Amino acid sequence: MNLQRNLKIFTLAALGIVSTIVWLAVRSTSVQAANESVRSAEKQRIEVVAKVRPSVVAIYARGGQGGGSGVLIDKEGYALTNFHVVQGSGPIMQCGLADGVLYDAVLVGLDKVGDVALIKLLPKADGKLFPFAALGNSDEVREGDWSLAMGNPFLLATDFTPTVTYGLISGVHRYQYPEGTLLEYTDCIQIDTSINPGNSGGPLFNVKGELIGINGRGSFDKRRRINSGVGYAISINQIKNFLGHLHGGLDTDHATLGARVESLSDEILRLSVKEVLDDADVSRRGLQVADELIAFAGRPLTTVNEFKNVLGVFPKDWRLPLVYRHENQRKEVLVRLMGVQPKEVKEDGAEAPKPGPRPAPGQRPPAPLPDSPAKKLYKEKAGFANYHFNELHQSRVWTAFTKHGDFSKTKGNWIFEGELQLKAQSRHAVLTIQEKKGDDGNLQTHALLDIRDVSTYPVEPLKPGLGNDERQSPPGSGGFVIAMYHFRRFLTEGIKGFERNPAYGGVEPFYPYPVDGSLPKTLKDLRVDADVIRTEHGGVAGKWYFDRTQQRLLGFEAFVEEKGDPCELYFADYRAVDGRMLPHRIEVRYGNDRFGVFTVKRYQTTAN
């Protein structure tokens, strides 16, 4: 009995000791593990900082008046910064890297509304490559994540070595109202990571050292313009949408849908359309007051802030899918976005902005450019940040495109012959484009579409005072004949054959419809990103879309009406004709409908 009791006590005591030991063991393991995790996190952090440090740029205006920060994003020396940094420095600047070397740099592209600028550093020797930061995916950033901000706060580093600060992501998908008239921060990243004057334009990294944003703004209110615990970075995914435009030397604009919205109810997050602008594309796509917005570009629309966020990350003129509900009917349409900024000054002066008391942001009194090797990479032109880079991309696209066929020797008459599949019927069709000397000795252009058993459609594209019916002929096509005239001209004359404002238009999404005529489940599945060339000729503006790998021409839009839908051509089934690649399937769309498909059986291209 006694023994048994002793045994029990002993067992209990032993259990107690064992459990204490186990507890201590667990505790020390956990402390060790925790120490280890802190140490390894610190080691990781130091390694990441060391890795990204060479990509951080200190930007100075020439003459040392002001500056900011930036980050290199490729080996060629292209770097991102804020518009408000280069606004102070002008198009030629100097940049210091962590290696202590000062480089000459030139402005490449501008996104004034988004407060982003692309600059290019000039290597010290031809062909020398730059260190750069890898672009991350800012849609994967979550509040509560760690982040690293780097740059040159208070411009304190005289040897260009960047300052690093570390903190939390305080919020994502934030909307911040425009400061002044521009500089709207949409869908931005909020951080408590300390950023101060001079950090502007510098990188925000995730813990892996991937670039997730460009630091540029804070909330200050009563406090002075120094870190207030609330900073904002422009998300890198927004910048990715503009990157093609920025590389192309454009002075880009942001977008609006052309509709005002309001929250529908207190209980459920729903957005209702309050007003639609008459000349907005979305109005022609059928959106009406009181319709409910559901999603844009694949993102659900729930609140007014979210609406502004979702719209705010895209450039003007991009075409993106909108899902909305009209009288219990769900609809998906492709919308061409309108611009945010007031229209550029037109030559006829119709939309010239009234002179304000102060120069608009970005417009500085013209100062002589400083003497810098970067000067030869700068070309001023209205509407562009730096036309030199636009010309580079025009020739890049054109050179790659002409590898598919050189039509410069076929400036004579062209004949397209084949089957035109209209809505209900298929008809034999012949399109002839010819140029001949008129009685007055001037060159006259005649285009003629002959649809058998239907009608013939003659158009003189360059005749002064051409009526709208003729311009948009045949009816329902939006101007198929004129569009084909432009197509021939583009192939034979090239970009230079368009007298007004030929330009590289950056990168835009393009949506070729399935060749079998089926309807896609969602329009975004059709999206292909394309290089765009813009042209204008005979009062018709055009946009040419090239695939970005082979620079094959995917399609063309002819804006025959000034304020209206273009005639859209989609090119497919490329086959060689006399050694030159030509599309044998041309789909014609106008507005919300498909006009027809022209299956070309025979091309006749003649030399002049």
Partner 1 sequence: MRWLFVWAISFLLTVSAMAQSPFGKVAQDVNRKLVKLYGSGGYRGLPAYGTGILVSSRGHILTVANHILDTQDLRVHVYDGRRFRAKVVVIEPEFDAALLKIDTGTPEGDKELDLEFFDIAKAAQSPLAQSGDWVLAFSNQFQIATRDEPMTVQRGTIASYTRLHGRRGIFEASFTREVYVTDAIMCNPGAAGGALTTRKGELLGIVGKELRNTLSETWINYAVPVQSKAEFTEDGKSVVRSLADFVDLGMQEKWKPTVREKPKDGPGGYHGIVLVPNVVERTPPFVDGVRPDSPAQKAGLQPDDLIVYVDGEPIGSIKQFIDFIAKTHPGLTIKLEVRRGDKLMTVDLKLDEIPKRK
User: What is the contact surface with partner 1 in residues (CB under 8 A)?
Assistant: 22, 25-26, 29-30, 33-34, 37, 41, 142-146, 167-168, 170-171, 173-174, 176, 190, 192, 207, 219, 221-223, 227-230, 263, 266-267, 269, 302-306
Nearest-angstrom CA–CA distance, 254 and 187: 13
The one-letter amino acid at 58: A
User: Which residue number, 188 or 503, has a Cβ lying nearer to partner 1?
Assistant: 188
DSSP code per residue over 31-53: HHHHHHHHHHHHHHHHHHHHHHG
Q: Is 7 helix (H, G, I), strand (E, B) or coil?
A: helix
SS (H, E, C) 327-352: CCEEEEEEEECEECCCCCCCCCCCCC
For the record, the structure tokens of 463 come out as: 């005749």
Question: Do the beta carbons of residue 108 and residue 98 sit within 8 Å?
Answer: no
The one-letter amino acid at 30: S
Closest approach of Cβ 225 to partner 1, in Å? Answer: 14
DSSP code per residue over 379-414: ---TTBS-HHHHHHHHHHHHHHHHTT---TT--S-E
Question: Do the beta carbons of residue 458 and residue 447 sit within 8 Å?
Answer: yes
Nearest-angstrom CA–CA distance, 46 and 41: 9
SS (H, E, C) 91-111: CEEEEEECCCCEEEEEEEEEE
- H or E element at residue 6: helix 2-52
Q: How many helices (H) and strands (E) in the chain?
A: 8, 32
- Verify whether residue 115 is a known catalytic residue: yes
Q: Tokens 């002929």 sit at which residue?
A: 473
**What Rg, from alpha-carbon coordinates, does the chain have?**
30
Closest approach of Cβ 83 to partner 1, in Å? Answer: 22
User: Which residue number, 55 or 170, has a Cβ lying nearer to partner 1?
Assistant: 170
Closest approach of Cβ 195 to partner 1, in Å? Answer: 12
Question: Do the beta carbons of residue 276 and residue 282 sit within 8 Å?
Answer: yes
Nearest-angstrom CA–CA distance, 117 and 385: 9
Closest approach of Cβ 215 to partner 1, in Å? Answer: 16
User: Which residue number, 124 or 223, has a Cβ lying nearer to partner 1?
Assistant: 223
User: Which residue number, 222 or 346, has a Cβ lying nearer to partner 1?
Assistant: 222
- Verify whether residue 200 is a known catalytic residue: yes
Q: Write down the catalytic residue from 194, 200, 372, 477.
A: 200
Nearest-angstrom CA–CA distance, 301 and 270: 8
User: Which residue number, 70 or 216, has a Cβ lying nearer to partner 1?
Assistant: 216
Q: Nearest-CA neighbor of 451 among 473, 423, 478, 431?
A: 431
User: Which residue number, 143 or 493, has a Cβ lying nearer to partner 1?
Assistant: 143
The one-letter amino acid at 287: L
DSSP code per residue over 215-246: EEEE--TTS-SS--S-EEEEEHHHHHHHHHHH
User: Which residue number, 184 or 565, has a Cβ lying nearer to partner 1?
Assistant: 184
Q: Write down the catalytic residue from 111, 115, 251, 281.
A: 115
187: which residues sit within 8 A by CB, 6+ positions away? 173, 174, 175, 235, 237, 238, 309, 310, 312, 313
422: which residues sit within 8 A by CB, 6+ positions away? 451, 454, 595, 596
Nearest-angstrom CA–CA distance, 347 and 531: 27
Q: Is 586 helix (H, G, I), strand (E, B) or coil?
A: strand
Closest approach of Cβ 22 to partner 1, in Å? Answer: 7
Nearest-angstrom CA–CA distance, 557 and 569: 6
Closest approach of Cβ 46 to partner 1, in Å? Answer: 15
Q: Tokens 């004057």 sit at which residue?
A: 197
Closest approach of Cβ 184 to partner 1, in Å? Answer: 14
Closest approach of Cβ 130 to partner 1, in Å? Answer: 31
Closest approach of Cβ 84 to partner 1, in Å? Answer: 20
User: Which residue number, 307 or 546, has a Cβ lying nearer to partner 1?
Assistant: 307
Q: Nearest-CA neighbor of 382 among 540, 250, 508?
A: 250
User: Which residue number, 161 or 303, has a Cβ lying nearer to partner 1?
Assistant: 303
Closest approach of Cβ 298 to partner 1, in Å? Answer: 19
Question: Do the beta carbons of residue 204 and residue 233 sit within 8 Å?
Answer: yes
User: Which residue number, 79 or 230, has a Cβ lying nearer to partner 1?
Assistant: 230
Closest approach of Cβ 261 to partner 1, in Å? Answer: 13
Closest approach of Cβ 180 to partner 1, in Å? Answer: 18
User: Which residue number, 230 or 449, has a Cβ lying nearer to partner 1?
Assistant: 230
Q: Nearest-CA neighbor of 198 among 231, 233, 153?
A: 153
For the record, the structure tokens of 347 come out as: 């030559």
User: Which residue number, 147 or 477, has a Cβ lying nearer to partner 1?
Assistant: 147
For the record, the structure tokens of 39 come out as: 């140490």
Question: Do the beta carbons of residue 98 and residue 70 sit within 8 Å?
Answer: no
Q: Write down the catalytic residue from 84, 393, 486, 537.
A: 84
Catalytic positions, written as ranges = 84, 115, 200
